[in-house]
Amino acid sequence: MSDDIKISIRNLFKIFGPDPQGALEHVRAGMGKSDLLEEQGHVLGLKDINVDMQAGKITVIMGLSGSGKSTLIRHLNRLIEPTAGEVIVNGEDVLAYNEDQLRRLRRENMSMVFQKFALLPHRTVLENAGMPLEVRGYDRKDREDEARKWLNRVGLEGQDNQFPHQLSGGMQQRVGIARALTSNADIMLMDEAFSALDPLIRTDMQDLLLELQEELHKTVVFITHDLDEALKLADHLVILKDGQIIQQGEPQHILLHPNDPYIMDFISDINRARVLRVRSVMQKTDQHRPGLAGDVDAEDTLESVIALSGGDTALGYRVLRHGTQVGILSVKDLVRALVPTAASEEGPRSSSGLSLSHGTGSR
């Protein structure tokens, strides 16, 4: 396993029912979710999941209700036991952990941010944020100092003595994030963490997460059913359907190269100009070309370039990253990228060219 892979999921299956091992034989023989339920009376939660999650990056797992995304994230800290497979964290199979090792994993290596906040109503904001260190036996001053630091960092300075019911939903979730950061865990599990929030507050929380991530470089596993949120947050995107991986890879690549009609349905209503980045459409080159209209940044959206060009398809721009040329962008290529492409007839593939029809990892 590569040094920069923090979490590696291998050949993971989860079947719910009285005889999961017996049902597993049928699944491995090719039986699907609906047939397994109808013929065997078992529910297929996950089927042959293979994902590598890079250290310091945000992996987003996306799918509709019942796709298996919440089931998957709960395998990482063994809140759910698998029917078969491996979950490797920091080079160790957590499925082989005893109770003490598992307790240490949950307390010290992983933190979790929940959709419904999961704050203790009889505890103050400061006490809630300091809970991870209280559980680990830190004295009151040390845990309060650490908790206060993170509360201030997420914009809750002066709210220490408030109780959860006195806060808005967005402020309560900020407490949840501060609590996760107080634990000093290098892995953050976020299960639909922003789904219960109003749209504007949700956007603010997404921006806060990206701002914190730029500074802290946590390994974040984020669950969502919202494609806009997934495209905004993900370094690596995993899309599930009926417990299987349909496609995974870099979000911009998936948007430009959907490999399944299911993915095409997801992206059909996306404002491509607002989501796609210059780096995904440009011609990669460090060679200067005369007659260009100016410079744009590799991370600029296509929408911003359209505004800059006035829609003139004859124009081209030098593309910079950190002040260095990395490509050339033709407005004509930009316009072409705004037209959705049909799903590949070769079957689902990742950005590295590996088949994903059976959940094969892309890294």
Output the pLDDT for position 342: 62
Domains in the chain (CATH in brackets) are 5-267 (3.40.50.300), 272-337 (3.90.1280.20)
- Measured at the CA of 271, the angle between CA 261 and CA 333, to 5 degrees, comes to 85
**Tens-place pLDDT, residues 251-293:** 999 999 999 998 988 888 888 998 999 999 999 999 999 999 9
Burial of 63: CB neighbours in 10 Å, binned 0-12, 13-18, 19+: buried
Residue 237 vs residue 339, higher pLDDT: 237
Q: How far apart are CA 219 and CA 5, in angstroms?
A: 10
Q: Is the pLDDT of residue 363 over 80?
A: no
Residues 312-318: contacts with CB under 8 Å, at least 24 apart = 316/289, 316/291, 316/292, 317/292, 317/293, 318/288, 318/289, 318/292, 318/294
| Arithmetic mean of pLDDT, 133-139 | 92
Q: Is the pLDDT of residue 152 over 90?
A: yes
Tokens 């004509």, residue located = 332
Q: Is the pLDDT of residue 346 over 70?
A: no
Bridge partners, residue 58, by sequence: 220
Q: How confident is the model at residue 118 (pLDDT cuts 50, 70, 90)?
A: confident
Q: How far apart are CA 181 and CA 178, in angstroms?
A: 5
> Per the structure block, which two tokens stand in for 100?
């003490």
Residue of 119, 281, 353, 82 whose CA lies nearest to 296: 281
155-193 in b/e burial notation, b at 16+ Cβ within 10 A?
A: ebeebbebebeebebbbbbbbbbbbbbbbebbbbbbbbb
Q: How far apart are CA 315 and CA 296, in angstroms?
A: 12
Q: Is the pLDDT of residue 117 over 80?
A: no
Output the pLDDT for position 341: 67
Q: Is the pLDDT of residue 65 over 60?
A: yes
Bridge partners, residue 296, by sequence: 319
Bridge partners, residue 113, by sequence: 190
**Tens-place pLDDT, residues 15-40:** 999 999 999 999 999 998 999 999 99
Element (H, E) at 127: helix 125-129
To the question of pTM greater than 0.75 for the whole model, the response is: yes
